[in-house]
């Protein structure tokens, strides 16, 4: 067999090459950008190159539909007829030309052409060059051009599927939908929680981060949270040693709402952010963390049993099991059902969600969510509580699941989350002004962009303390 002779091409910058490879994998394999950006290959990039790779990947995914519309208009052909590698190179070039004003046009164009050659699509090089040169002449910074005058304008100018914008408008109003869409189109803040360790108090951890050129600010919702203003937290010794965890404030709040118990069950526990916080708040409890997939359970075990001497590792048992069919005879006084969901409250962090999700997916998700909630309710002791949560903005995955479960089991009542948030405010845990703004009915409801955090839903269900 004759080996193919490599096609010579000029070297492409490491950041653009990495971004190109990630975007092609996302198109071909339905991979997730957040995972690929933290893979071993990306860890070899310098801090500057990794930052540019992240900007390119996330920017292309956020503005996917606008980029494709522009490419189709300039090239006079549908993007569905363009090879994946060629289309990705065009998107990368068009994004740099329209959104990244500090990158010279010739660099954006030339490197996109070289990426096509690198991908063995040399015959398309002149096409890419011509389309991007015309794009350069017409390029305008579009990031600030989101128009929320109508559902149609908002969907088109914010690069969101119209069916999602219509749903959010119907549920929360057009003004809130516009804030959600705008939030989704910008990089969200990195928020961390400092682990309470046996060796180092939080103040000492903050001082160490400062010495590693990390600038922090207080959290917006929680007194224990910190926002990263400057620096890459993942490249610090504090992060590597497991002394801090990247975790959105709404996610932290859900874990805090679970409260205190002696026997705690955390279902669908990976990647483990909530598990760690629950264990930290309940150092004397017996806690079980359940994860369906064995490989994720192993990663969860590794995360929670970190080498930093953390109290989190001492009281958690990780079990690989299906949350729909829990293998326990024991009853638990606190249960967290943080169920798999559409993730529409995290589109700012995972922009590929909005292009992959279809309306019919919500019913499939609801069926599994309801099965998990039923299973976890069966594990609750008398007087015990179940916290059901999602990072979804969709009613089918939230209120509808709770209402159906309550119809089926009258031994539970819904606890008003407003009372719990008011209690946390009095304790100094919640610093967000006005707990009612985090509430929808009796439920916790954060909206990305309306609050400076991911969109989360949580319901607290309490089992009657005596049997009927």
Q: Structural domains in the chain? A: 14-138 (1.10.940.10), 151-184 (no CATH), 190-246 (3.30.70.1170), 255-463 (3.40.50.150)
| pLDDT class of 311 with cuts at 50, 70, 90 | very low
pLDDT score of 86: 97
Tokens matching residue 455: 């969109």
Task: Give the span between the Cα atoms of 311 and 466, in whole angstroms.
Answer: 34
Task: Give the span between the Cα atoms of 381 and 335, in whole angstroms.
Answer: 10
Structural contact between residues 381 and 400, judged by C-beta atoms closer than 8 angstroms: no
pLDDT score of 5: 38
pLDDT score of 10: 66
The residue ranking higher by pLDDT, 40 or 23, is 23
3-state helix, strand, coil in the chain (%, to 5): 50, 15, 35
Q: Is the pTM of this model over 0.95?
A: no
pLDDT score of 198: 62
Task: Give the span between the Cα atoms of 112 and 93, in whole angstroms.
Answer: 6
The residue ranking higher by pLDDT, 116 or 198, is 116
Least confident of 33-47, 245-259, 367-381: 33-47
Task: Give the span between the Cα atoms of 279 and 305, in whole angstroms.
Answer: 12
pLDDT score of 1: 33
Tokens matching residue 43: 């860890």
Task: Give the span between the Cα atoms of 398 and 366, in whole angstroms.
Answer: 9
- The arithmetic mean of pLDDT across residues 433-458, rounded, is 96
Angstrom CA distances, 430 to 221, 254, 438, stand at: 6, 12, 11
Task: Give the span between the Cα atoms of 94 and 355, in whole angstroms.
Answer: 19
- The arithmetic mean of pLDDT across residues 322-351, rounded, is 95
pLDDT score of 307: 44
pLDDT at 142 over 70: no
The residue ranking higher by pLDDT, 112 or 271, is 112
| pLDDT class of 466 with cuts at 50, 70, 90 | confident
The residue ranking higher by pLDDT, 157 or 315, is 157
- The arithmetic mean of pLDDT across residues 410-424, rounded, is 96
pLDDT at 3 over 70: no
3-class SS at 244?
Answer: strand
pLDDT score of 312: 46
Catalytic, 391? Answer yes
Tokens matching residue 208: 């160490």
| pLDDT class of 140 with cuts at 50, 70, 90 | low
pLDDT at 444 over 90: yes
Least confident of 177-186, 246-255, 302-311, 312-321: 302-311
pLDDT score of 197: 65
Catalytic residue among 181, 244, 267, 391: 391
Tokens 């990630």 sit on residue: 22
| pLDDT class of 201 with cuts at 50, 70, 90 | low
| pLDDT class of 468 with cuts at 50, 70, 90 | low
pLDDT at 162 over 70: yes
Q: Which residues contact 315 (CB under 8 A, 6 or more apart)?
A: 279, 282, 283, 284, 285, 286, 287
């Amino acid at each position: 067999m004759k080996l193919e002779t490599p096609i010579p091409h000029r070297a492409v910058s490491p950041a653009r090459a990495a971004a190109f490879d990630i975007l092609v994998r996302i198109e071909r394999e339905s991979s997730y950008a957040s995972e690929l950006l933290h893979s071993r290959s990306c860890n070899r990039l310098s801090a500057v190159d990794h930052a540019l790779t992240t900007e390119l990947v996330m920017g292309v995914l956020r503005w996917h539909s606008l980029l494709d519309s522009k490419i189709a208009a300039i090239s006079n052909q549908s993007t569905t007829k363009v090879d994946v590698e060629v289309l990705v190179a065009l998107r990368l070039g068009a994004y740099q030309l329209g959104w990244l004003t500090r990158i010279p046009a010739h660099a954006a164009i030339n490197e996109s052409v070289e990426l096509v050659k690198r991908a063995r699509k040399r015959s398309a090089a002149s096409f890419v060059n011509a389309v991007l040169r015309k794009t350069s002449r017409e390029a305008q910074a579009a990031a600030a051009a989101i128009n929320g005058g109508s559902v149609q304008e908002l969907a088109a100018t914010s690069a969101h599927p119209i069916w999602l914008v219509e749903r959010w408008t119907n549920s929360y109003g057009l003004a809130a939908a516009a804030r959600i869409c705008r939030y989704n189109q910008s990089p969200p803040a990195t928020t961390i929680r400092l682990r309470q360790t046996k060796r180092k108090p939080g103040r000492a951890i903050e001082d160490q981060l400062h010495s590693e050129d990390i600038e922090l600010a207080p959290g917006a919702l929680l007194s224990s949270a910190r926002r990263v203003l400057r620096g890459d937290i993942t490249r610090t010794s504090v992060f590597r040693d497991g002394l801090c965890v990247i975790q959105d404030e709404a996610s932290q709040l859900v874990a805090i709402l679970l409260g205190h118990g002696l026997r705690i069950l955390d279902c669908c526990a990976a990647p483990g952010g909530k598990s760690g916080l629950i264990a930290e708040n309940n150092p004397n409890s017996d806690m079980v963390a359940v994860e369906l997939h064995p490989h994720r359970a192993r990663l969860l075990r590794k995360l929670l049993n970190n080498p930093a001497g953390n109290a989190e590792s001492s009281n958690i048992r990780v079990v690989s099991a299906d949350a729909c069919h829990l293998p326990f005879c024991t009853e638990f006084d606190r249960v967290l059902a943080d169920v798999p969901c559409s993730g529409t409250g995290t589109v700012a962090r995972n922009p590929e969600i909005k292009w992959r999700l279809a309306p019919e997916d919500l019913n499939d998700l609801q069926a599994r969510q309801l099965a998990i909630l039923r299973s976890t309710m069966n594990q609750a002791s008398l007087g015990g509580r179940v916290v059901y949560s999602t990072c979804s903005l969709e009613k089918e995955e939230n209120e509808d699941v709770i209402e159906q479960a309550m119809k089926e089991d009258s031994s539970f009542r819904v606890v008003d989350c407003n009372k719990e948030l008011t209690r946390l405010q009095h304790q100094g845990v919640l610093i967000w002004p006005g707990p009612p703004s985090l509430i929808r009915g009796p439920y916790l409801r954060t909206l990305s962009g309306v609050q400076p955090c991911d969109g989360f839903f949580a319901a607290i269900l309490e089992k009657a303390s005596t049997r009927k």
